[in-house]
Amino acid sequence: MFIIGRLFLALGNLLNFLINAYIILIIIHSIMSWINVPRNQFVVIIHSLVEPFLMKIREIIPIRLAGGIDFTPLIGILLLYFINDFLVKIIIDIGRSLI
């Protein structure tokens, strides 16, 4: 059970890192949308990583319902924090209980 517990811990820590990195990408994407950043490879990569996630949220909550203000990055970050605090912490706790 020790090995399985370590696998759960490693998986939980990896998911925690990936979720936090994705939150940072959403913040960078939002800041770049406020200022006029020239299109380069960095901007294209961040846009291609973040925009599909935000489009799924926009399908559920259209921008016109929010008075024209795009709250999808905030909703996405809150959703990712919920996933991180709820699901990832459960995986980590399972791993700790198996060690």
- Domain that includes residue 73, residue range: 2-98
The DSSP symbol for 65 reads G
Tell me the CA end-to-end span of the chain in Å, nearest whole number: 7
pLDDT score of 66: 60
- What string of DSSP letters covers 78-91? HHHHHHIIIIIHHH
| pTM of the model as a whole | 0.87
In order of 23, 49, 95, the CA distances from 39 in angstroms are 21, 15, 43
pLDDT score of 2: 86
The DSSP symbol for 61 reads S
Q: How many domains does the chain contain in total?
A: 1
Tell me which long-range contacts 9-12 makes (C-beta under 8 A, separation of at least 24). Answer: 9/92, 9/95, 9/96, 9/99, 10/95, 11/91, 11/95, 12/88, 12/89, 12/91, 12/92, 12/95
Q: What is the pLDDT along the chain (99 residues), one digit of tens a residue?
A: 888 999 999 999 999 999 999 999 999 999 998 888 788 899 999 999 999 999 999 888 876 666 667 889 999 999 999 999 999 999 999 999 988
